[in-house]
Amino acid sequence: MRYEGAVIRPPIEADSLILQVTYGCSNNTCDFCGTYLGKPFRVRPYAEVVEDIEGLPAWYKKECSRVFLADGDALVLPQRRLLELLSFLFAQLPSLERVTSYANAQNLLKKDVEQLRELREAGLTMVYLGLESGDEQTLAEMNKGVTVAQQIEACRKAKAAGIELSITCILGIAGVERSLIHGRATGEALSAIDPEYIGVLSLIIQEGTRIANRIRQGDLVLPDPLGMLRELREMIAAIDVTNGLFRSNHASNYLPIGGRLPQDKPRMLAALDAVLAHPEQARLRPEGWRAL
């Protein structure tokens, strides 16, 4: 398997076969994102993808049960190509159970529900989408390139097609001033989407990103760790989903919190309230230990 540049994948895909079908991200506008800086978006030649799959060792082909399509948004590929790829993967990998990928709202919106259903039936079981914020002003200031309503519509289409959703949001990106507004609005947007999985990260500034410049110039002031936990509390309090696994235990977070919503909401809020009431007793992750 050949890879070009840094390849990222969700932590839960650690054991999946990571297959690059595109390079970079077709959007690549988000101020906080340094993932694909210096890696212009390109579609990987399909013949190369096929060669890599065919070249896998026979024992691995037999055992491989999960594939993650990289890089940033494999769903940008035309429908016909995606269906061809999924069909080829299932033909080559007899134990394959699920194929997942990142997606952005833009490329989900370009497909109709019927096309998304076709992809689900062909084996695309889940997509990971960065909502980042449910606050319109924050999304616009971060140059996400879509509105909150478009994010919600895109996610609802995927859900209607039977594709599971894992949605990521970021604490801190609204700055101190809109921190609680961002927390609440994000909880409300998540409620409107009703995803199966919710992952919350805490902003880590990457050099070379536009947000790093804004912070340096004093244009954006980030909440401190306790401020981020207040924001998280506001978010969780506003989430009303039918059955969602909530995790904010990523290495970027100051405090691991997780549970199943709605039933674990009181426990998670109580844990945050205890830390906010007695921060001196809390064991927050030291700044230097945080990572992406």
**Residue 199 bridge partners (DSSP):** 168, 247
Query: Closest distance between ligand SF4 and the C-beta of residue 102, in Å?
Result: 7
Single out the residue of 30, 67, 158, 169 in contact with ligand SF4 (rule: CB under 6 A): 30
101 contributes a contact to ligand SF4 by CB under 6 A:
no
Examine residue 25 and tell whether it contacts ligand SF4 (CB under 6 A).
yes
Between 35 and 253, whose beta carbon lies closer to ligand SF4? 35
- Between CA 257 and CA 248 the distance in angstroms is 5
244 binds ligand SF4 (CB under 6 A): no
Of 9-17, 29-37, 114-122, 259-267, the window that binds ligand SF4 (rule: CB under 6 A) is 29-37
Q: CA dihedral in degrees (86, 91, 93, 98; nearest 10)? A: 40
Q: Binding segment for ligand SF4 among 22-30, 187-195, 197-205, 215-223 (CB under 6 A)?
A: 22-30
DSSP classification of residue 72: S
The DSSP 8-state label assigned to residue 288 in this structure reads G
Minimum CB separation of residue 31 from ligand SF4 in Å reads: 9
Indicate whether 179 belongs to the interface with ligand SF4 (CB under 6 A): no
Q: Report the interhelical angle of 79-92 vs 46-54 (nearest 10°).
A: 10
First to last CA, the chain: 24
Largest Cα span, the chain = 58
Gap between the Cα atoms of 30 and 210, Å rounded: 8
- Is 28 a binding residue for ligand SF4 by CB under 6 A? The answer is yes
Q: Does 130 bind ligand SF4 (CB under 6 A)?
A: yes
Measured from the Cβ of residue 68, the count of other Cβ atoms closer than 10 Å reads: 24
Pick 84 or 136: Cβ nearer ligand SF4: 136
Structure token pair of residue 59: 């024992």
Take residue 124 and report the two structure tokens written for it: 């695309």
User: For residue 132, what are the β-bridge partners?
Assistant: 169
Of positions 22, 35, 100, 248, contacts ligand SF4 by CB under 6 A: 35
Task: Compare residues 120 and 210 and give the one whose CB is closer to ligand SF4.
Answer: 210
Q: Tell whether residue 252 is a contact of ligand SF4 (CB under 6 A).
A: no
Could you list the residues that contact ligand SF4 (CB under 6 A)? Answer: 25, 27-28, 30, 33, 35, 72, 104, 130
